[in-house]
Amino acid sequence: MKTLLLTAALAAGFAFSSHAQTSAAMSDAEAFQKGTFQGATADLAHYNAVYQLDSDDPKLIQQTLRNLSNALEDTRLKGKITIELVAFANGTAVFRKDQPYEAQLTALKQKGVILAQCLNTIRERKISKDELLPIISYVPSGNGELIIRQAQGWALVHP
């Protein structure tokens, strides 16, 4: 009997979870029509996001770092989000010693942000690790990292 209840609860849990998501989307849409929508509700215990940086445009780099900080400070996510910044292709500029981002990146690392550089890019472009900040880590490929992270349930942000 206990088993039956547990099983039924379990089954109901999944049905509820799926139904709840559709309902949540619909009630957000209704709230928006009424003018009372104030953003999606963050009811999970923890969130993860991977930020993609593949441009060396200083404006876009600054916007990416600012966006990332805004996500860390969003009242809905503060204290319960892990973020990884993945740089590849031209985006490698953000980690170069001769670029002006070291202070911002160090501050982000102190807040727990993972700083990851694509190894494929530095191999293809013959960039030495000595040209990049020592505070970063390396991943086999930036694209592989984006794909595996999403399969793990991480959100993607590409400013």
Selected from 12, 16, 46, 129, the binder of a second copy by CB under 8 A is 46
Q: Which residues pair with 83 in a beta bridge?
A: 49
Does 156 participate in binding a second copy (rule CB under 8 A)? yes
Does 4 participate in binding a second copy (rule CB under 8 A)? yes
Does 7 participate in binding a second copy (rule CB under 8 A)? yes
Sheet with 137-139, side-by-side order of all strands: 137-139, 114-118, 81-87, 47-53, 155-157
State the nearest-atom distance from the C-beta of 100 to a second copy, in Å: 20
State the nearest-atom distance from the C-beta of 118 to a second copy, in Å: 8
Contacts of 93 (CB under 8 A, 6+ apart): 56, 61, 87, 99
CA–CA separation, 155 vs 128, rounded Å? 30
Does 56 participate in binding a second copy (rule CB under 8 A)? no
Judged by CB under 8 A, the chain residues 111 through 150 that form the site for a second copy are 112, 114-116, 120, 137-150
The answer to whether 67 and 153 are in contact (CB under 8 A) is: no
Would you say 76 or 97 has its CB closer to a second copy? 76
Does 35 participate in binding a second copy (rule CB under 8 A)? yes
